[in-house]
Amino acid sequence: MMKLKLIASLVVVALLGACSEGAGGSAAAGGSAEVHPGEQTYTRFCFSCHAAGIAGAPRTGSVEQWAPRIAKGADALLRTTIDGIPPGMPARGLCNQCSDQELADAIDFMVSKSR
Ligand code: HEC
């Protein structure tokens, strides 16, 4: 009986410890680690080609490959993303259900990682 109680209180202590650790971690990360609004769309639809630079896609994170694209301006990039660039870049980056705003956010996410 005593042993059970001891184990139970140890579990409680362990849980409390884990809990406060988690809270501390997220508080420290707060603000700086906000999720970009385009990250989810990017991860689901654009990552497959743009992470590794498949078929000549400008690779996410490559300042060199993105600079000439960024220079065209955000509006131009949104337009080519909506229309696609045959043959490599499919219209809407294969996300037919994405709104123009979601595509713009996804582009902004890649651009923000690549300048
Ligand atoms: C099937 C592969 C593929 C997927 C999926 C894909 N892309 Fe691309 N993307 C490309 C390729 C290839 C190019 C380069 C086209 C070229 O310049 O010939 C490109 C170019 C671009 C460009 C540069 C356009 C310009 O005018 O220079 C943007 C912006 C872009 N993609 C955004 C996206 C977004 C946003 C998504 C996800 C919603 C996405 N792409 C998904 C292959 C892909």
Neighbours of 46 (CB within 10 A): 24
Q: DSSP secondary-structure letter at 76? A: H
Confidence (pTM): 0.80
Domain ranges of the chain: 39-113
Q: Which residue has the tokens 């955000």?
A: 74
Structure tokens belonging to residue 47: 């990552």
pLDDT of residue 91: 98
Cis? peptide before 68, omega within 30° of 0 = no
**Minimal-distance CA residue to ligand 1 atom 27:** 69
pLDDT value of residue 22: 40
What's the gap in Å between 35 CA and the centre of ligand 1? Answer: 22
Token pair belonging to 50: 């743009």
Quick one: which atom of ligand 1 is closest to the CA of 55? 12
Pick one of 1.10.760.10, 3.30.2350.10, 3.30.1490.20, 1.10.3210.10 as the CATH number of 39-113.
Answer: 1.10.760.10
State residue 23's pLDDT score: 41
Question: Each residue's pLDDT tens digit in the chain (115 positions)?
Answer: 666 666 566 555 554 444 444 443 444 444 557 899 999 999 999 999 999 999 999 999 999 999 999 999 999 999 999 999 999 999 999 999 999 999 999 999 999 999 9
**Would you state the structure tokens that stand for residue 86, as one six-digit string?**
């045959």
Confidence (pLDDT) at 31: 55
